[in-house]
């Protein structure tokens, strides 16, 4: 069991940013909006966080910068899709391309440099030494924040009036409007929350996990986070299970190399994406389950005059 503990620790470390990004996207989709720009927002958040510490800012400023960058990009997406009724799919893809290009261009000066400040692990005495489950109690600050947000989003969506409003808007915006709810305002708030969470996930990559800057730092994990929302059937707690699964697959390559199993690095790097495709194919084979669990108005524009 002790020999597997490093694998579990790596899986959890890889799962944390996926949980953050997927939770934000889950709330967005619960409101009826589909934002495919997750990867772009994560990269912008990562760049903003790294730039903050590179220019003398502390970790608090890095987190604020990452969140602000993701939220600002999400605001642009919201204006185009919620107010101007542009295609959500096309706008999301454009946001991913824009975020990738902007982060690569502005981040050229930081390539190869380590982060001037970074988050350190904060092990809980006693609990962190338990085999297998110990890594759950050896997270850095952002890891613990992700756990708190997981519980908080679950409680918000299913045990509060605000969560009921978000789910109602996602199911039937026309009914929500007839009840006096401001659909556009609810969707804007959900989109901003999703962008902030994506920016926080990017911050995790830059100053907590890799602690350096390179082009395409997120390695396409924004797409895996999008798939996680579908995998979890739009349920927050299932997001954590899926993130651990994909994190484990990502960490498996490093573990195999550590124990002396020689496998092509290209094959190992492709494992998370192959797993994503297989999971999506499996889930898509049951269309009735998808229709039963997905928000009815997902991706459908609605203009209520606000």
Note the pLDDT of residue 289. Answer: 66
Give the residue, 288 or 233, on which the prediction is more confident.
Answer: 233
| pTM of the predicted model as reported, rounded to 2 decimal places | 0.93
Q: For 206-253, how does the pLDDT look when each residue is reduced to its tens digit (9 = 90+)?
A: 999 999 999 999 988 999 999 999 988 899 999 999 899 888 887 877
By the 8 A CB rule, do 77 and 92 touch? Answer: yes
CA distances from 126 to 4, 6, 8, 141, 173 (A): 19, 17, 18, 18, 50
Alpha helices in the chain (DSSP H): 5-30, 38-54, 59-78, 88-106, 141-159, 161-171, 173-178, 183-204, 221-231, 236-258, 265-284, 287-293
DSSP code, position 124: P
Any idea which of 5-14, 15-24, 188-197, 200-209 has the lowest mean pLDDT?
A: 5-14
Domains of the chain: 2-115+130-293 (1.10.3470)
Position 265 pLDDT exceeds 70: no
How far apart are alpha carbons 186 and 169 in whole angstroms? 8
How far apart are alpha carbons 116 and 296 in whole angstroms? 46
Q: For 132-151, how does the pLDDT look when each residue is reduced to its tens digit (9 = 90+)?
A: 888 899 999 999 999 999 99
């Amino acid at each position: 069991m002790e020999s597997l503990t490093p694998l579990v620790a790596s899986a959890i470390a890889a799962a944390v940013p996926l949980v953050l990004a997927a939770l934000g996207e889950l709330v967005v989709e619960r409101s009826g909006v589909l934002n495919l720009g997750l990867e772009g927002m994560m990269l912008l958040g990562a760049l903003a966080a790294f730039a903050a510490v590179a220019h003398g800012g502390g970790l608090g400023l890095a987190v604020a910068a990452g969140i602000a960058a993701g939220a600002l990009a999400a605001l642009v997406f919201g204006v185009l899709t919620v107010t101007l009724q542009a295609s959500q799919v096309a706008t999301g893809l454009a946001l991913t391309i824009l975020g990738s290009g902007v982060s690569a261009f502005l981040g050229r000066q930081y390539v190869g440099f380590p982060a001037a400040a970074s988050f350190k692990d904060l092990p809980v005495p006693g609990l962190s030494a338990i085999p297998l489950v110990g890594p759950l109690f050896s997270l850095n600050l952002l890891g613990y924040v992700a756990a708190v947000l997981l519980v908080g989003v679950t409680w918000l969506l299913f045990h509060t009036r605000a969560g009921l409003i978000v789910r109602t808007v996602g199911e039937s915006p026309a009914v929500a409007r007839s009840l006096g709810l401001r659909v556009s305002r609810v969707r804007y708030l959900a989109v901003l929350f999703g962008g902030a969470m994506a920016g926080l996930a990017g911050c995790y990559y830059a100053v907590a996990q890799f602690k350096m800057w390179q082009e395409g730092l997120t390695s396409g994990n924004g797409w895996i986070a999008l798939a996680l929302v579908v995998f979890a059937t739009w349920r927050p707690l299932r997001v954590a299970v899926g993130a651990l699964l994909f994190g484990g697959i990502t960490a498996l390559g490093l573990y195999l190399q550590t124990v002396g199993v020689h496998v092509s690095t290209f094959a190992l790097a492709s494992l998370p994406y192959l797993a994503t495709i297989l999971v999506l194919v499996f889930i898509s084979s049951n269309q009735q389950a998808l229709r039963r669990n997905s928000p009815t108005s997902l991706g459908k524009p609605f203009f209520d005059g606000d």
